[in-house]
A and B are shown apart, each in its own frame.
Chain A
Amino acid sequence: MNRNFSPSRQIFCLAALMAVVMGLVFVATSVGLSGFGLKTVISALWNWLTQAANESDLTRMIVFELRLPRVLLALVAGAGLALAGTGVQGVLMNPLVSPSVLGVSAGAAFGAALALVLGVDLLGAGRYLVVANAFVAASGAMLLAYALARLRRSSRETIILAGIAVGYIFSGLVSLLQYIARDEDLRSVVFWLMGSLWDARMETVILLTPIVLAGLAILLFLAWDLNALGAGEEMAHSLGVRTGRTRLLALLTATFLTASVVAFTGSINFVGLMAPHMARSLVGSDHRFVVPASALVGAGLLLAADTVARSLVWPVEMPVGVMTSLLGGPFFIYLLLWRKKDWLS
């Protein structure tokens, strides 16, 4: 297998990915309540663009209030999770990590469970109680792991181990909350832990989009630093990379991306882990291409998983987090058994 560093191949890959994601968008928008397929959606969109308001209320409601927000949220959330994964894998030079391994998911779960079981409001957020709690606790978990690692020396192994330790502590706390929870609250926590895009709202999409775009911009800004880190920390340093600053920036970016997304969706694992791998196998190891490719793969992956999740047992919503786990587990085993050569860690 030969790869050339002329960017035409990578640009072609990005374009192809974009096309695949667009195709998935078309499929996803046409799946759902029967009678509201692609044609209805497109004509509704067209009428909206041309201000021709001759839509029935039901069509308008289903297209603009339910389906489009859902599809868009899947794209944005998937891209955000994938970017976060790319960031931590790149900066910790370890293909087996993702924000969830570093305690972010457990932290988010703890925050959410605190709200769902005890009604504890960490930010005074009222209606966005669960969201705000999850965000605060998720960020807190990863920052705690980072601070712990800094206490000794912030080698990449220490950060990972500290993240795992913090993750276990928060998982323990979540279990404790589940244990003392009443039936109905327990059910809420369990549903939250399984992750879902059922609460897709345009407001959420509008809130998350700039966060994800900022994350994309920061990681692109760090692309060469991440490339250099791929050659080893010392090497990166002598290439003028301020490794400490790069690491902190990438970890913070990943934290806020993941925390923002899972705060709204609940735990969705594996997208952050899988997407960077798929992206690398498509465009190579240059992060200038891996970063956008990973975002596209993540967006497509989550959209596909969510579309399956919401149409598998119509009208019951299966949790998309379960879908990604069911896809992710086997993928990970494949990675462990057959693709080990790619990464020497």
Chain B
Amino acid sequence: MNLTAKDLDFAYNSRPVLERISLMLNPGRLTVLIGPNGSGKSTLLRCLDGVLKPRQGCLFLEDQELSRLTARELARRIGYVPQNASPLTSTTVSEIVLLGRRPHLRFRISDQDRDKVAESLDALGLTGYSGRFFDELSGGEKQKVILARALAQETKILLLDEPTSNLDLRHQLEVLDLLTSLKKTRRLSLAVSLHDLNLAARYADDLVLLHQGRIAVAGPPEQVLTPDSLARVYGVRALVKPSDKGRLHIDVQATLQPEPEVEG
């Protein structure tokens, strides 16, 4: 299932945040959104999920317009993991993962729901954790639980807002490796926003570089991550060199003056 955005405009009250955004998420591909703070990454993900309504432009799921779907239908197709998705109540791991089944059930929990929860926990190596309280877990474990919930939702499209923030290096890699394997095994269309350009370069199939609410460059990493675009968007002087295994390595050397204008 693919998700297409055409000429999206979004504004908070009268302050434009996104302008003329067009992109496409494809099955089996991981699209990484990068850009400085305030460039519109989170807002774009929320627009793609339907949480925020774009002022202009349209979104298509395959060839169906997103706004025509009910909230429940949408939730069965698109999953979304917000940043800091910490629940407010004291809940157990299994209760949180079970929430992912909410778009599929009415009141009772069926055996199928139970199976899906167990399956998702298993996929993330969390089987032993089901009765644990969420707030007793470490940051990495919490992130995995949130992911398990998104898996239990069984959507073909999954949007994740900075899933690696607050994680140490090892857990960052673990989460991204997991997403990579999921996109292959389940043919998911993934969109992830990241801050770390090296991680982005390493995992992205497609990169979208946002700058002040517009797409500065989009395409395969080697087209997007150029010293020129980094200077323009981030205001830094950086070297981009291909390392072994054909990955890119970005080496930031200095900030450029003046600092580019950053939106709220």
Let me know if chains A and B touch directly in the complex, using CB atoms closer than 8 Å.
Answer: yes
- Residues of A that sit less than 8 Å from B by CB: 1-5, 7, 93, 220, 223-224, 227-228, 230-232, 234-235, 237-242, 280, 284-286, 288, 341-345
Chain A's nearest CB lies how many Å from the CB of B19? 23
B88–A344 touching, CB < 8 Å: yes
A232–B71 touching, CB < 8 Å: no
Cα-based distance from A7 to B117 in the complex (angstroms): 15
B102–A239 touching, CB < 8 Å: yes
- Pick the contact of B98: A5, A232, A235, A237 (CB < 8 A): A5
Quick one: CB contact mask for B26-50 with A, threshold 8 Å, 1 for yes? 0000000000000000000010010
State the 5 A-B residue pairs at the shortest beta-carbon distance, nearest first: A240-B75, A238-B80, A2-B131, A230-B89, A240-B72
Which residues of chain A have C-beta atoms less than 8 A from B75's C-beta?
A: 238-240
A232–B87 touching, CB < 8 Å: yes
Given the known A-B contacts A231-B96, A238-B78, are A4 and B130 also in contact in the complex, defined by CB atoms under 8 Å? yes
Cα-based distance from A4 to B118 in the complex (angstroms): 12
Cα-based distance from A90 to B193 in the complex (angstroms): 31
What does DSSP make chain A's interface, helix, strand, loop or mixed? loop
B87–A230 touching, CB < 8 Å: yes
- Pick the contact of A3: B46, B49, B92, B105 (CB < 8 A): B92
A231–B131 touching, CB < 8 Å: no
Given the known A-B contacts A234-B51, A240-B74, are A228 and B86 also in contact in the complex, defined by CB atoms under 8 Å? no
Which residues of chain B have C-beta atoms less than 8 A from A7's C-beta?
A: 109
Which residues of chain A have C-beta atoms less than 8 A from B70's C-beta?
A: 240
Which residues of chain B have C-beta atoms less than 8 A from A343's C-beta?
A: 88-90
State which residues 49-98 of B face A: CB under 8 Å.
49, 51, 70-76, 78-80, 82, 85-92, 94-96, 98
B71–A242 touching, CB < 8 Å: yes
Chain A: CB-nearest residue to B87: A231
Cα-based distance from A232 to B99 in the complex (angstroms): 12
Chain A: CB-nearest residue to B159: A238
Cα-based distance from A93 to B86 in the complex (angstroms): 13
Quick one: CB contact mask for B141-157 with A, threshold 8 Å, 1 for yes? 00000000100010000
Q: Give 19 A-B contacts (CB < 8 Å), ordered by A residue.
A: A4-B94, A5-B117, A5-B130, A93-B89, A227-B99, A231-B85, A231-B87, A231-B99, A234-B85, A235-B85, A238-B49, A239-B102, A240-B74, A284-B92, A285-B90, A286-B95, A288-B107, A341-B135, A344-B86
A5–B71 touching, CB < 8 Å: no
Chain B: CB-nearest residue to A281: B90
Interface centre among A231, A238, A286, A342 (most CB of B within 10 A): A238
B95–A5 touching, CB < 8 Å: yes
A93–B88 touching, CB < 8 Å: yes
B99–A2 touching, CB < 8 Å: no
Cα-based distance from A84 to B79 in the complex (angstroms): 32
Given the known A-B contacts A224-B102, A241-B102, are A5 and B94 also in contact in the complex, defined by CB atoms under 8 Å? yes
Chain A's nearest CB lies how many Å from the CB of B98? 6
B103–A240 touching, CB < 8 Å: yes
Chain A's nearest CB lies how many Å from the CB of B148? 13
B100 close to A (CB within 8 Å): yes
Cα-based distance from A286 to B98 in the complex (angstroms): 10
A241–B133 touching, CB < 8 Å: no
- Pick the contact of A238: B79, B105, B109, B130 (CB < 8 A): B79
A240–B89 touching, CB < 8 Å: no
Given the known A-B contacts A220-B107, A344-B88, are A237 and B51 also in contact in the complex, defined by CB atoms under 8 Å? yes
B132 close to A (CB within 8 Å): yes
- Pick the contact of A341: B88, B90, B98 (CB < 8 A): B90
- Pick the contact of B89: A220, A237, A238, A285 (CB < 8 A): A285
A284–B95 touching, CB < 8 Å: yes
Q: What 20 new A-B contacts, CB under 8 Å, besides A3-B131, A342-B89?
A: A3-B95, A5-B117, A224-B102, A227-B102, A231-B85, A231-B149, A232-B86, A234-B80, A235-B80, A237-B51, A238-B75, A239-B99, A239-B102, A239-B153, A240-B76, A240-B103, A241-B71, A242-B71, A343-B88, A344-B88
Chain B's nearest CB lies how many Å from the CB of A275? 16
Cα-based distance from A3 to B109 in the complex (angstroms): 17
Interface centre among A223, A230, A342 (most CB of B within 10 A): A230
Chain B's nearest CB lies how many Å from the CB of A164? 20
Chain B: CB-nearest residue to A156: B88
